Amino acid sequence: MIYLPDTNSFSAHFSGKSSSLSSRLNHEMEAGNLVLSVIVLAELEFGAHKAKQDLGSSRFTTIIAKLKTILPPEPLEENFASSYARIRYHLESTGNQIGERDLLIASHALCLNASVLTRNIREFQRVPGLHVESWQADALA
């Protein structure tokens, strides 16, 4: 199984908020079962930039730089656009919209045949055909 952790999974891992998540992430990373979406990377980079500007801390920037060497970001392929359009249309027509960035992440995961690893199960489960897991005890089901 290939896993695409969303932003909140990486944030919990980096902050040490979930030892069970960190243990499993490290195991799956060593096994080569994790992918990093360029969309998730963009959100992480934003968080690092904000921390640097607001707090004067570059610790998060260092962590993100290391992550990119371990997990090179997966780019968006041509089929991403049609996947995104199909999923967005379905969710809007059924009244089950999700956040725009979550929609982008879900579409990318489907293109990569990956399961989304998230704390926010409720949001991602609305996407048909998407496998969703949480390795955090406080998941929002």
Rounded to a whole number, what is the largest CA-CA distance in the chain?
44
pLDDT digits (tens, 9 = 90+) for 46-90: 999 988 887 777 788 899 999 999 999 999 999 999 999 999 999
> pLDDT > 70: what percent of the chain?
96
Q: List the domain boundaries for the chain.
A: 3-35+77-133
- Please compute the mean of the pLDDT values over residues 20-31 and round it to a whole number: 90
Q: pLDDT at position 52, please?
A: 80
Write out the CATH class of domain 3-35+77-133: alpha beta
Please give the pLDDT value at position 140.
Answer: 56
Q: State whether residue 126 is helix, strand or coil.
A: coil
The C-alpha atoms of residue 107 and residue 93 are separated, in whole angstroms, by: 17
For residues 43 and 40, give the distance between their C-alpha atoms in angstroms, rounded to a whole number. Answer: 5
The model carries a pTM of 0.90
Please return the burial class of 116, using the count of CB atoms within 10 Å of its CB with bins 0-12, 13-18 and 19+: buried
Q: Could you give the CA distance from residue 51 to residue 78 in angstroms, rounded to a whole number?
A: 33
Phi and psi angles of residue 26, each rounded to the nearest 5 degrees, phi first: -60, -45
Judged against a pLDDT cut of 80, whether residue 99 lies above it is answered with yes
* Whole-number pLDDT of residue 106: 97
Average pLDDT over residues 30-43: 95
The mean pLDDT value for 93-101 works out to 95
Mean pLDDT value across the chain: 91
Residue 136 has pLDDT above 80, yes or no: no
**3-class secondary structure, 24:** helix
Q: Please report the pLDDT score of residue 20 as a whole number.
A: 85
